[in-house]
Structure 1
Amino acid sequence: MDDSGLVSFFRVESCGLYRIRQKADGEFISDGFPEISKSLFDWLSDRSVLNTIPWDPKEHTRRDKVYCKDVHFDSYTGDYLFVLWFANSEAAGEVGEVGEVGGIDLNSKVGDTNNDSEKIDAKNSTGKELTIGKAMYYWFIPSLKLVASINFKHSKTDIEAFTTYIKKWFDNKNKHPNKT
């Protein structure tokens, strides 16, 4: 399948743990972009998709649910690819033909080859617990201090949802001895 997309690059100006100072710039303490990328990758690996939301969805009912569908690390380049899943009931009218939506199995493991999004229609039910929505693709390039969002016609980009996901993961799930 030939599919073209749009890649947007964003420079990572600062990333890691900083000591906050009054009336001055923060002082870098530890864990820059490469370390944060690896920590996120490690946290997501071997989880079920259902357990990749870095906040309590029952506590934050108005916040969009964002899961991680897949992760990949390229040992040659040091780059990471994160495929997030923006769960949204409004996507029903945006994906595929009329009456078709995309869904992923929340009980599958992150990166599971059977975790591809499936078309859902009224005539065909797979019997899996699926959540509808759209994929969001993010490419971390630590060596160049860049993050790229990749948008295809079947996916979406949402920088606010993406940055919230990373921030909430760091605040709520990242275990670091210097974090307070």
Structure 2
Amino acid sequence: MLQSGHINFFNVDKCGIYSFVGKEPKGLDLTETFLKLSEWVEGRDYETTNPWDRKSDRNKTPCYCNQIHYDEKTGDFLLVLLKGENDKSGPLYGFVIGPDGKPEKTPIKQTEKKTKKKTIWGRPCYYWVIPEANCIASIKFENSRCDSTMFQEWVSGCIDLRVDLPDMKKISTTTGLVRIQFTDDEENPYKYHYKFDMSLRSLSTTSAPLQEMVSKITHIIRRETVSLNVKNQREGWVKHFGHLVLPYTSHQDGKSRKVELTVEARPTVAEAKEIIEKFGSSGEASGWDDVGFVLEGGTKTVWARSYRHSENISLDDDGNDILDAEFLYKTLTHYRARFIAPILKDNRDASTGTGTGTGTA
């Protein structure tokens, strides 16, 4: 069956061991991180590829690793994860777990086959790690999911809680933070921690559509969903929303409010790109939380999601509900050079300070 995949690209903002006061990492860069994860996953019982305890970490979405494919030629990784879900929005896929803790090779679909054997249910997630471009891409098919927050937490959770780091010692604080000390650095006991953060990429600053849109911006719109009866930990203007007196709103008729703020602004291309990447929605479908731009005349608003750096692919799944990592990667290699060319250019421009910095008012 022919499958269409939608690809979103993310910047890797941080990856490595950081001191609590420094900005540059000390070890465990993108390649090192995923090589460690590949070694750790290999041969493990399937259930233990979820780094969190199901009883004590109930607020974490269970996430299991099906496969990690590493391409030595390019240095890329392709991960196939299983997001543990039990909702009814589409079919669930499961792996029957054998007595040895290993999953059966062929997944089953919950709507087509019943089993009394131990089974882990969820939906596949595909992530393409590209160290050369310092970016990560999520690949979304009709039956799969994309959850960038879960992916970041899974990577950090594995490194913090499960993966052995022979040259480092780890302790967990009462707040759950894992502090790290290098074994040859007794002068700085547990002054480090692992961080893995990524943000949605926008189109290149040299992109004609982005430049044209920026030249017409008159206002910026910020939309957020704000809790009414839970302490809001967000920073900025939404932090003070609970202090506003608004008509026809009460704590009894809902748990949250959709809030919109419009500000007059004329950002440069570089500033608009930063706004899109920092505040733009990375959800699979259109939702409320996002950032938008009102164009001249005030009759048109464009949303950040339409200026994501994204691509599309098509492939024949050969009847497989969950794609093999190496198979999917081989398809991606046909487009790799074209997909990452604008990212590499942006990275070069950023390092030399030659990126587009102004827009036309």
TM-score by length of 1: 0.83
Higher relative contact order by CA 8 Å / sep ≥ 6: 1 or 2?
A: 1
Does the CA contact (< 8 Å) of 2:52 and 2:60 recur in 1?
A: no
Length, aligned pairs only: 167
Unaligned runs of 5+ in 1: 96-100
Could you tell me which runs of 5 or more consecutive residues in structure 2 were left unpaired when the two chains were aligned.
Answer: 169-179, 182-361
Amino acid at match of 2:109: K
For 1:129, give the aligned amino acid.
K
The aligned amino acid for 1:104 is F
3-state SS of the aligned residue for 2:25? strand
CA pair 141-60 structure 1, distance change in 2 beyond 3 A: same
Counterpart-to-counterpart distance in 2, 1:54 and 1:106: 17
1:20 maps to 20
**Letter paired with 1:43:** W
Please state if 1:163 is matched with 2:160: no
| Rounded Cα–Cα distance in structure 1 between residues aligned with 2:33 and 2:146 | 21
CA distance in 2, matches of 1:66, 1:106: 15
- Contact 1:69/1:115 (<8 A) preserved: no
Residue matched to 1:147:
136
Indicate the residue corresponding to 2:90 in structure 1: 94
Distance across 1 between alignment mates of 2:12 and 2:124: 22
Aligned CA distance change for structure 1 residues 93 and 29 (closer, same or farther; 3 Å): closer
**In structure 1, distance between residues paired with 2:129 and 2:56:** 30
Report the structure number with the largest CA radius of gyration: 2
- 1:29 maps to 2:26: yes
Choose which of 108, 114, 117 in structure 1 pairs with 2:107.
Answer: 117
Root mean square deviation of aligned Cα: 2.0
Deviation at 1:87, TM superposition (A): 1.1
Q: How does 1:39-118 map to 2 (within 5 A)?
A: 39-90=36-87, 92-95=88-91, 101-107=92-98, 109=102, 114-118=104-108
Identity %, equivalent residues: 29
- Residue 127 of structure 1 and its aligned partner are, at CA, apart by 4.8
Contact map agreement 2:93 2:122 (CA 8 A) in 1: yes
Name the CA distance, whole Å, in 2 between partners of 1:117 and 1:124: 10
Tell me by how many angstroms 1:159 deviates. Answer: 0.9
Runs of 4+ in 1 over 4 A off after TM superposition: none
Q: Which amino acid is the alignment partner of residue 174 of structure 1?
A: V
1:137 corresponds in structure 2 to 126
